[in-house]
A and B are shown apart, each in its own frame.
Chain A
Amino acid sequence: MEHAHRTAKSSKKGSKGNGGGAAASEPALGNQEMAELLLQEAARVEGASDDQLWLPTHKDELWFAEDGDDDGGTGTTRRQQEAKLPGLRPKHEGKEYEDFENGTAFVKGEGDAHAVDANDVKQGALGDCYLIAGMAAVARADPKLIEDLIKDNGDGTFDVTLYIRPRRYARPEPVVTTVDARLAVKYSGKPLYAGLGDKEDGKEELWTALIEKTLAQQKDSYDLISGGNINKNGFNYGGSSELLTGKRENYMPTDSMDSDEALLWIDLALEEGRSVTVSSRNLKDDEDLTREANGRNVYWNHAYAPISVDLDAETMDLQNPWGSSHVEDLSGDDFLRFYRAIRIGGGRL
């Protein structure tokens, strides 16, 4: 016998849209109200054969979804963030958001010591290398600092904390933003901006994309978090490490250092479990130097997260936030030629 089985269930899964934002907000009915409505409906269709229709004749026959159990018996209600989704870059108009239903904040990859690992980061089609490199640096310093930033609400949304200065010269304060797992996608279906991390048992790691989206949410737009725009619209940016740890970071220009000093500063910061990022110069008008630097995976106007320093060999390895094309065995002298600043921020200490 086929029944038209009506319940109080509704599905909000699999949604797509570009900036639609707010969660579906139908007026909520209490169980008693719903029971009365269904009994009224049963009375209205009286006369239909049982083969055509099943409706309850008594409220005790009704099964109602409880909060948190509204998804076909899987035990979860999938919700969407209330805030409007951040705008995409103008050149990406027409791209859509897609709900990464299998997304979870953290997945421990093979060989990783922690679920949060510096190798989880992958920059996408957005010039926010400063942020992605910062995430890698903080993850390397102390994975728990990243884990503490994201609370999985278990309903498709995440509470993400960033430390934001309320005024230019103020201490950063924690600001919690609720975001969902909808991310802008490319035609290939992969995230347009920060990529996914590890995968395991069908679960996809979202933490970098969630943090990036949260910052974009703060500024209403992904375009406004690209490198040249982060300080626009009254946003008081104090560095990616500060944003992620709440601790202010030291900006150290390399022009006043010798190579030993640069190597030692980075080595000491890594050893102390502090986040470290470095910024390359902008010398792209110099063809020979650009060819030389790009040939070493050093790209101008780009941020990197130092991985390690070999003080004996006087070299260092740097992580490229792209997730590939890392810099290996860069001498201290070349570091000074190619890089303009070191930023040392919070970490385990």
Chain B
Amino acid sequence: MVIEEIEETTVGDLDGHRVPMGNVTTGAYTLPDGTERTGNICSLVLPGQSPGVFVGKGSVVTVGEHRWEVLTVDNPTTGNGSVQLKRLD
């Protein structure tokens, strides 16, 4: 199982693709099945797409040949937030 973490306003690496993470905030987002959720969200700048898309726990994004599921979006009261993603296939 491949899990990657990206920190707020830094650039992560998903299978060799540079993926910057924008900011964490709280708000609404949509799961792959269309369900609306509210919680911690963050923007991820996916390859070839700018500006970023906002994702939350359970969101799925495609980077290169793989899909990644958002496991957590951490929004600490002080310091930088972060996002954890798990490769699905």
**A interface residues, Cβ below 8 angstroms from B:** 91, 122-127, 129, 186-188, 190, 192, 195, 228, 284-287, 290-291, 293-297, 299-302, 322-325
Task: Answer whether A125 and B13 are a contact pair too, CB < 8 Å, given A291-B27, A325-B20.
Answer: yes
Known A127-B80, A285-B25; further 11 A-B contacts with Cβ < 8 A: A91-B5, A123-B10, A129-B10, A186-B13, A190-B16, A291-B25, A293-B23, A294-B43, A297-B50, A299-B23, A324-B45
Known contacts A190-B13, A190-B16: A294-B22 contact under CB 8 Å: yes
B11 at the A interface (CB under 8 A): yes
Cross-chain contact of B23 among A123, A186, A192, A290 (Cβ < 8 A): A290
* Cross-chain pairs A/B with CB under 8 angstroms, 15 sampled: A123-B10, A126-B10, A127-B8, A129-B9, A190-B13, A195-B18, A285-B25, A285-B26, A290-B23, A290-B25, A291-B27, A293-B23, A294-B22, A294-B54, A301-B80
B15: chain A residues at CB < 8 Å are: 188
B6 lies within 8 A of chain A by Cβ: yes
Determine the residue in chain A with the shortest Cβ distance to B5: A91
A122 touches B11 (CB 8 A): yes
User: For window 36-87 of chain B, which residues contact chain A by CB distance below 8 Å?
Assistant: 43, 45, 50-52, 54, 79-81
| Chain B residue, CB-CB nearest to A293 | B23
**Chain A's interface: helix, strand, loop or mixed, by majority?**
loop
Q: Distance in Å from the Cβ of A119 to the closest Cβ of chain B?
A: 15
Asked if residues B10 and A300 are in contact (CB atoms below 8 Å), the reply is no
B73 to chain A, nearest CB (A): 12
Known: A129-B9, A190-B13, A301-B9. A284 touches B25 (CB 8 A): yes
Closest to A125 in B: B10
How many A-B residue pairs lie within 8 Å, measured between CB atoms? 84
Is the interface on chain B under 10, 10 to 19, 20 to 34, or 35 or more residues? 20 to 34
* Closest CB in chain B relative to A41 CB, distance in Å: 48
* Complex contact B10–A299 (CB within 8 A): no
In contact, A188 and B13 (Cβ under 8 angstroms): yes
B16: chain A residues at CB < 8 Å are: 188, 190
**CB-based closest 5 A-B pairs:** A188-B16, A287-B27, A290-B25, A294-B43, A294-B22
Q: Is there contact, CB below 8 Å, between B54 and A291?
A: yes
Residues of A contacting B5 with CB < 8 Å? 91
Q: Is the CB of A125 within 8 A of B54?
A: no
**Which residues of A sit under 8 angstroms from B20, Cβ to Cβ?**
322, 324-325
Residues of B within 8 A of A284 (CB): 23-25, 81
User: Which single residue of chain A is at the shortest CB-CB distance from B80?
Assistant: A127
Q: In the docked arrangement, what's the CA distance between A287 and B41, Å?
A: 9
Tell whether A125 pairs with B22 under 8 Å between CB atoms, given A291-B54, A297-B50: no
